[in-house]
A and B are shown apart, each in its own frame.
Chain A
Amino acid sequence: MNSLSDEFLMAEALDDKLDGLGELFERYNVNLFNFFLRLSHDHDLSHDLTQNVFFRLLKYRKSYKRGSRFKPWIYQMARNIYYDHYRKHVEKRDEFVNVSGLAEAWSDEEDLLKREQIHLLEKAMSLLSIEKREVLIMSRYQGMKYEEVAEVLDCTVSAVKVKVHRAMKELKELYFKQV
């Protein structure tokens, strides 16, 4: 099963052969959890939202179009889930996210300097708008191709390049302002 493509496993699921979905869970649960974690900086919420993605994957699998790419599809779902939650809870959202706890977890470095740098990076990330943050999370932290990000955001590849560039520029300023 390891060598089968995401798209093949999903096509099987369309025919009600669900064994491949367990494999897709293994392939994506860590990345999706970290996607939510970097967006929300909330451990429990990220758990709930990740669970929600796989719940929808199972219940709404028939909405997957045979032959289309799986990764952008599931990230689009994840992104919708996050925005739904964000809209509902926007008034409750803490303006100043506490990143120190997560930065600890993100940095298992012995090297104190690097640890501090990662801490500062997370702080700078948390100051970016969600739109800028999600572009960087997908393209930089999760190593997605620009074509894939473009599909998730439903825009052109060159638009993604511009978004990444702008987000990086702002992040750089925020980061080095702290140093």
Chain B
Amino acid sequence: MGDCFEVKDYLTSYLEGSLTKEEEKKVEEHLEDCPSCEEECKQMRKLLGLMGSAPKILPDDSIRFSFEQLLNEEKTKISLERKKEKRGAIVRTLWPKNGQQWAASVAMLILGLGLGYYVSKPALESTLSEVEALRREMTEMKEMMMLTKLNQPLASDRLQAVSYTYSMEEGNTEVIEALINTLNNDGNENVRMAAVDALAHFSNDQRAREALLYALKQQDDPAIQIAIIDALVKIREKKALPQMQKLLKEKELHEVVRNKVKDGISSLI
């Protein structure tokens, strides 16, 4: 490598240390013999040193703020989209298999309400309150489904409606009134029996307890009487004792119910 032209092509790589040992040695040998290349090498070294030592300028903090803001907006968007997907899943779960028209319209209405609700919500909301809102909406959705189904002609629909209430933590006035109405007036004994259990589930509500007490006087079907007594014992309703004593005096009382009443009295006393 005695050629100046060739050596000049290698100078940058030589100064970077990216040549092989052999190539490096050849360049060094040439530089010792050639003052012009030696000078050029010195200049190059100086420039590279200067470039490497030039300090960096820091940008203003404003770009960090605006990026963080963008990032947060994007994160919120993602969590809202996830929520939307979750909502879709809930609607699918509650969707009746027979695909009746009314169910579709109720679900669509609720979905619409839900979408409207979240669109109007402030952009930033803690995850916790989002979960809370979701749960509330789910309950509302169930309540509406329940109230609609309770008026269906098929007993199996009404039974399903009553069973929705088991997963509600607390019933609102409409739900409880609907259950009471069902217990007193529904023509199917299985539906009435389910209503008894549902009302016992809402035993925190005074109206539910009173409805059960009233039903104990009114219902004459042994199966329902047994269900009512079980429910009253379960919710520890001592006000049921006078009516139970009265029942024992009735001659026509079914033997199984009589025994149930006796057991009930002894466990409530």
Q: Which chain B residue lies CB-closest to A43?
A: B57
Q: Give Cα A54–Cα B64 distance, bound, in whole angstroms.
A: 10
Please report which residues of chain B, range 115-136, place their CB below 8 angstroms from some CB of chain A when the two chains form the complex.
none
Q: Are A172 and B70 in contact (CB under 8 A)?
A: no
With a cutoff of 8 Å between Cβ atoms, the chain A residues found around residue B53 in the complex are 114, 118
With a cutoff of 8 Å between Cβ atoms, the chain B residues found around residue A168 in the complex are 12, 44, 47-48
Sort chain A's interface into a size bin. 35 or more
Q: Are B13 and A107 in contact (CB under 8 A)?
A: no
Q: Give Cα A46–Cα B43 distance, bound, in whole angstroms.
A: 31
Is A29 part of the contact surface with B, judged by Cβ < 8 Å? yes
With a cutoff of 8 Å between Cβ atoms, the chain B residues found around residue A22 in the complex are 67-68, 71
We find that the number of chain B residues with CB closer than 8 angstroms to chain A is 31
Decide yes or no: A18 and B75 within 8 Å by CB, A34-B56, A107-B55, A140-B52 being known contacts.
yes
Is B256 part of the contact surface with A, judged by Cβ < 8 Å? no
Query: Secondary structure at chain A's binding surface: helix, strand, loop or mixed?
Result: helix
With a cutoff of 8 Å between Cβ atoms, the chain B residues found around residue A107 in the complex are 54-55
Q: Are A21 and B71 in contact (CB under 8 A)?
A: yes
Q: Are B63 and A51 in contact (CB under 8 A)?
A: yes
With a cutoff of 8 Å between Cβ atoms, the chain A residues found around residue B64 in the complex are 25, 29
Q: Are B70 and A58 in contact (CB under 8 A)?
A: yes
With a cutoff of 8 Å between Cβ atoms, the chain A residues found around residue B74 in the complex are 18, 58
With both chains docked as a complex, state the minimum distance between the C-beta of A60 and any C-beta of chain B, in angstroms.
12
With a cutoff of 8 Å between Cβ atoms, the chain A residues found around residue B60 in the complex are 47
Query: Secondary structure at chain B's binding surface: helix, strand, loop or mixed?
Result: helix
Q: Which chain A residue lies CB-closest to B59?
A: A33
Q: Which of A16, A30, A54, A136 is in CB contact (< 8 Å) with B51? A: A136
Is B62 part of the contact surface with A, judged by Cβ < 8 Å? yes
Q: Are B70 and A30 in contact (CB under 8 A)?
A: no
Q: Give Cα A161–Cα B44 distance, bound, in whole angstroms.
A: 15
Is B154 part of the contact surface with A, judged by Cβ < 8 Å? no
Q: Are B70 and A54 in contact (CB under 8 A)?
A: yes
Please report which residues of chain B, range 31-90, place their CB below 8 angstroms from some CB of chain A when the two chains form the complex.
40, 43-44, 47-48, 50-60, 62-64, 66-68, 70-71, 74-75, 78
Q: Give Cα A176–Cα B54 distance, bound, in whole angstroms.
A: 18
Q: Give Cα A171–Cα B44 distance, bound, in whole angstroms.
A: 9
Q: Are A172 and B43 in contact (CB under 8 A)?
A: yes
With a cutoff of 8 Å between Cβ atoms, the chain B residues found around residue A29 in the complex are 59, 63-64, 67
Please report which residues of chain B, range 1-44, place their CB below 8 angstroms from some CB of chain A when the two chains form the complex.
8-9, 12-13, 40, 43-44
A-binding residues in B (CB < 8 A): 8-9, 12-13, 40, 43-44, 47-48, 50-60, 62-64, 66-68, 70-71, 74-75, 78
16 cross-chain CB contacts under 8 A = A16-B78, A18-B75, A25-B64, A33-B57, A34-B56, A51-B66, A105-B57, A107-B54, A121-B47, A140-B52, A141-B54, A161-B12, A165-B9, A165-B13, A171-B47, A175-B43
B-binding residues in A (CB < 8 A): 16, 18, 21-22, 25, 29-31, 33-34, 37, 46-47, 50-51, 54-55, 58, 102, 105-108, 114, 117-118, 121, 136, 140-141, 161, 164-165, 168-169, 171-172, 175-176
- The 5 lowest CB-CB distance pairs between A and B, nearest first, are A33-B59, A140-B51, A54-B67, A165-B12, A34-B56
